[in-house]
Structure 1
Amino acid sequence: MSRWPNLKQLHYLVALAECENFNRAAKACFVSQSTLSTGIQNLEELLGVQLIERDNKSFIMTPIGLEVVQRARQLLSETKDLLEMTASRGGSLSGPLRLGCIPTIAPFLLSPLVTLCGETYPDLDLLLREDTSDNLLKLLEAGELDLLLLALPYDLGSFHSRVVGQDPFRLVLHEKLIDSYEANPARYAGLPDHSLFLLEREHCLTDHALSACQLADQAKINPFAATSLYTLVQMVSHQQGATFLPEMALRAGILERTELVAVAPQGQMPHRDIGLVWRPSSCRVEAFAGLGRLVTSCLR
């Protein structure tokens, strides 16, 4: 092949696949619809294959088109890493850094982290995205995020990670349940059935808490689950039940104006690891380490 596809053409194709609409894709690329359409047509001519099937009102991606989109995402992601490496010289925390964080960490850690970043790295532009672990990993793979702040362990595939701190768990229960918990030698056995409320399973905190705190009796778990830690606290307070909460949420005052108290759960110092996750191709590992040190400071 004497001519090579350019990155702009690949960007147009990926945007079209993600937006599923020519007009929205053109707006996402800051070009006119005709410019985007022409760019994709030129890409098809260059590659000698049909990437999309068009009619007057809609389109579908061809099988080879879907494969090209996947390869194009990887190329665009690695190109972003290359630009960031040359711009920051690999170790400097400056310019934009797109950080993804899960909902059981973001509300309690990001505010002090952003403040500390502003003081330590004034040239850093920290851009934040909150989502579940699965969704953040997909965005990291697609090159839409540079770095993730997750609770570990978690299945990270081929991504690289580094633990930067630990977040202990506490058993939080209504004050009316204190005696039934502390007076029972087995502790959890003293809690009423269905009295323990947890987050929905899409939040990794539930699995981490149950594993770390060694709760094996499923009869204690209430079938209704919460979508956030704030909702979880309200459910526990209203139903006079119990739950597991991370220490960072307690320090942030999540139990204020409630009748809930935090006590030590079973297990030897039960906790979750807090870690940074990045692509193996990233050239900003030194910069990520600098941010990791700030996260460690915030956790302390």
Structure 2
Amino acid sequence: MNLPSIKQLQYLLAVYKEQNFNRAAESCHISQSTLSVAINNLEELVGQQLIERDNRKLMFTAMGELVVEQARMIIDQSHNMMKLIAADGDVMAGDVKLGCIPTIAPFLLPKLAKKSRTEYPKLRLRLIEDTTAQLMAQLERGEIDVAILALPIDTGNFHVMTVGQDRFKLVAHKQLAEKLSQLTDFEDVPDGSLMLLEKEHCLRGHALEACRLSKTEKIHPFEATSLTTLVTMLEDGEGISFLPDMALEAGLLRNTSLVSLNMPFENATRQIGFIWRKTSFRAQCYRNIGLLAESLMSGQAKSKV
């Protein structure tokens, strides 16, 4: 039985990612004609049409979608095999591409990278910061090995390892905080007073869940792109927000007039999770890194008791 080559599968994945033959060829550093021939040969080999195309657009067939899914796993396994060989079979050696969301990265990654260098000196963490949606897509395409995300989210068929929880706290200007200290129902806050990150950040949804807020008129129209910007806006004294404890512990409110208050709800938290592909050869490596993160988060929690 003739089998597809790794190169053919890589070309197929490039077309799927770019949804365009020209851009796919450029990303593979080959001509469009070379790419087209490779895809045609692959279709002849499997005896199925994988891509429907005309002069203006292309669309993957149902079989094409299935082949793409299998191709991703094969390429992923091939990369893992070569990494394992390069590391002489040591799963805790070599490169690991680790993605993390912006509302966790500044507060956990520096500590994790330092601890990893101490515990696993042969391991090199290549760190990437991006939104949840982008990291999930990169994980699926095999562009990163593992992602650190805030849960709950739909993690599909990926393996999930929870490494800790991060409590939300109410943050406001000192003068406003005095009025809110006895607040038990956030439906009573003034309209337009709740400031949040923009919708691309999962922290927005988690914060709304934490305060159990159902009335959207309470939300301020301004949407911050980062926690730093959000804090700057809160300094004006007109709004409130719900921010993760790990950011506050790292000094996010330092040199400001803002204070943090405990939330009145026990489950006002987000879970921090390590997520990777179930097909990965290096699951033990990712689990070990996750255990380092778990120890860091556990130590942070104990230091506050």
- Shorter-chain TM-score tier: 0.7 to 0.9
* Aligned partners of 2:186 and 2:211 also within 8 Å: no
Q: In structure 2, what is the equivalent of residue 102 of structure 1?
A: 101
Q: Does 1:220 align with 2:218?
A: yes
Cα deviation for residue 150 of structure 1 reads 1.0
Partners of 1:7 and 1:58 lie apart in 2 by 28
Cα deviation for residue 289 of structure 1 reads 2.1
Partners of 1:261 and 1:270 lie apart in 2 by 18
Partners of 2:89 and 2:160 lie apart in 1 by 17
Letter in 1 for 2:140: E
Cα deviation for residue 218 of structure 1 reads 4.6
Q: Does 1:242 align with 2:240?
A: yes
Letter in 1 for 2:117: G
Q: How does 1:79-90 map to 2 (within 5 A)?
A: 79-84=78-83
Structure 1 residue runs without a partner (length 5+)? none
Show CA shifts across 1:43-87 (max 9, x none): 2343345555677x8763453555543442233234334444555
* Aligned partners of 2:187 and 2:213 also within 8 Å: no
**TM-score, normalised via structure 2 length:** 0.83
- Shift of the 58–89 alpha-carbon distance from structure 1 to 2, 3 Å rule, reads farther
Q: In structure 1, what is the equivalent of residue 27 of structure 2?
A: 28
Cα deviation for residue 244 of structure 1 reads 0.7
Partners of 1:270 and 1:59 lie apart in 2 by 47
Cα deviation for residue 252 of structure 1 reads 2.6
* Aligned partners of 2:176 and 2:237 also within 8 Å: no
Q: In structure 2, what is the equivalent of residue 73 of structure 1?
A: 72
Cα deviation for residue 4 of structure 1 reads 1.4
Partners of 1:169 and 1:243 lie apart in 2 by 10
Letter in 2 for 1:209: A
3-state secondary structure, aligned to 2:135: helix
Higher deviation after alignment, 132-141 or 211-220: 211-220
**Aligned counterpart in structure 2 of residue 287 of structure 1, from 277, 281, 285:** 285
Partners of 2:194 and 2:210 lie apart in 1 by 15
Q: In structure 2, what is the equivalent of residue 140 of structure 1?
A: 139
**Aligned length, in residue pairs:** 297
RMSD of the alignment, in Å?
Answer: 3.0
Cα deviation for residue 28 of structure 1 reads 3.1
* Aligned partners of 2:73 and 2:279 also within 8 Å: no
- Shift of the 89–203 alpha-carbon distance from structure 1 to 2, 3 Å rule, reads farther
Letter in 2 for 1:195: S
Q: In structure 2, what is the equivalent of residue 200 of structure 1?
A: 198
Q: In structure 1, what is the equivalent of residue 13 of structure 2?
A: 14
**TM-score, normalised via structure 1 length:** 0.84
Q: In structure 2, what is the equivalent of residue 131 of structure 1?
A: 130
3-state secondary structure, aligned to 1:238: coil
Show CA shifts across 1:99-156 (max 9, x none): 1211211122222222222232222121222222233223222222211111112221
3-state secondary structure, aligned to 1:97: strand
Structure 2 residue runs without a partner (length 5+)? 301-305
Partners of 2:121 and 2:172 lie apart in 1 by 42
Partners of 2:49 and 2:271 lie apart in 1 by 47
- Shift of the 279–62 alpha-carbon distance from structure 1 to 2, 3 Å rule, reads closer
Partners of 1:40 and 1:13 lie apart in 2 by 7
Show CA shifts across 1:156-204 (max 9, x none): 122221111221211110122022112x453646642221111233322
Partners of 2:105 and 2:85 lie apart in 1 by 30
